[in-house]
Amino acid sequence: MKDSVLEAKAVKKNLGSGAGEVQALRGVDLSLRPGELTLLMGPSGSGKTTLLLILGCMLAPSSGEVTVCGSSTGNADKEELAKIRRDHIGFVFQSYHLFPTLTAAQNVQLALDIRGERGPDAMEKSCEALKMVGLDQKTSALPLELSGGEQQRVAIARAIVANPSAILADEPTAALDGSNGHTIMSILASIAHERDSAVLVVTHDPRVLPFADRIVQIEDGRLIDERSGGPKHLRKPRSAAFGG
């Protein structure tokens, strides 16, 4: 078995304080491995997003440990956590969060720019990333000129352009129709398998199940079920997902 890229060990997280304190995570163990697309599923308020934020080094656990590529993030300050994200993790957001005044290529390039990668090489890498998500003809388009699915594909290109070890996607298909949702999940699956990245998709959309290598269920801050995905467990083939 390959080494974990992201790992949470006995992670607990309390949110709020005093009488309003809530235990959002109650001792979670989860590891994300390269080449695997993991689905994190659960109802609203189950702790999905809290776990994603902790794995994404944006929220510190109340107890337990998070390691990124073998290094613990426990003692890292905000700037060091930002560097860990910059170096190892790509993010895909539900609302895309593209920069409306920048073109598709510039949005992708931004992920390289913050890493200090500039010039023609950065531009070439950005165009390649856009090509990988099928948007090589739309490098100069502004986000407003793109459909929701296309915007999400730009966001994926932005997440993968710097070749991070892990991709964390938060409800990437929630705002998309079936066809676009299928395309997005296909791309995320191919990123996991072809680029050997660890991909975690947080979702409550059952249509994405056919794309999972592993499915993790969370409820009341605990992982209650973990099973392998993949064709043998599917009720429907991938082609049938999203009503295809």
Partner 1 sequence: MSLPLTLALRNLLHDRLRFIATLVGIVFSVVLVLIQMGLFLGFGHMVTTMIDHASADLWVVPKGAKCFEDPSMLDIKLRDRIAASNGVAAVIPLVIGFSDWRLESGEMTPVFIVGADLHDGGLQPWNVIEGNAQALAEGGTVAVDRSYFERLGVTGMGSTAEIRGRRVKVSAITDGIRSFTTTPYVFVDLKNARTYTGTPADRASNLLLRLTTGADREQVLKTVRAQAGDNAEVLTADEFRSRSRSFWLFGTGAGAALFAGALLGVIVGTVIVAQTLYSSTKDHLTEFATLRAMGSAHRYIYNVIIYQALLNALIGFSIASAIGAIVVEMTAKSALPIVITPWLIAGLCALTVVMCVASAIGAIFRVVRIDPATVFMR
3-state secondary structure of 19: helix
Closer Cβ to partner 1, 54 or 215, answer by number: 54
From residue 53, give the alpha-carbon distance in Å to each of 39, 79, 85, 105.
Answer: 15, 16, 11, 27
Q: Which stretch binds partner 1 (CB under 8 A): 30-38, 50-58, 127-135, 203-211?
A: 50-58
Closest CA to 175 of 215, 148, 202: 148
Pick from 118, 131, 227, 236: which binds partner 1 (CB under 8 A)?
A: 118
- How far is C-alpha 210 from the geometric centre of its chain's CA atoms? 17
* Stretch 154-213 residues interacting with partner 1 (CB under 8 A): 158, 170
Among residues 140, 8, 132, the alpha carbon closest in space to that of 67 is found at 8
Q: Which of 3, 29, 65, 87 binds partner 1 (CB under 8 A)?
A: 87
Interface residue with partner 1, options 9, 12, 26, 83 (CB under 8 A): 83
Instruction: Pick the binder of partner 1 from 18, 100, 120, 231 (CB under 8 A).
Output: 100
Q: Is 59 in the site for partner 1 (CB under 8 A)?
A: yes
| Chosen residue from 71, 72, 95, 140 binding partner 1 by CB under 8 A | 95
**Which H or E element spans position 148?**
helix 148-160
Give the residue with the Cβ less far from partner 1, 46 or 182.
46
Question: For residue 161, which amino acid is it?
Answer: V
Of positions 9, 23, 27, 93, contacts partner 1 by CB under 8 A: 93
Crossing angle (nearest 10°) for helices 120-132 and 104-113: 120
What are the angstrom distances between the C-alpha of 149 and each of 94, 105, 154, 183, 198? 11, 16, 9, 8, 22
Q: How far is the CB of 37 from partner 1 (least distance, A)?
A: 19
Considering only the stretches 7-15, 26-34, 91-99, 127-135, report the one whose residues sit in contact with partner 1 under the rule CB under 8 A.
Answer: 91-99
Q: How far apart are CA 238 and CA 241, in angstroms?
A: 5
Which span (23-31, 45-53, 128-136, 191-199) binds partner 1, by CB under 8 A? 45-53
Separation of CA 33 from chain center: 13
**Beta strand 198-203 with 166-170: parallel, antiparallel or unpaired?**
parallel
Q: Whole-number minimum distance, CB 107 to partner 1, in Å?
A: 10
Q: List the structure tokens of 116.
A: 């200090």
Q: Name the site residues for partner 1 (rule: CB under 8 A).
A: 49, 52-53, 56, 58-59, 79, 82-87, 89, 91, 93-95, 97, 99-102, 106, 109-111, 113-115, 118, 158, 170
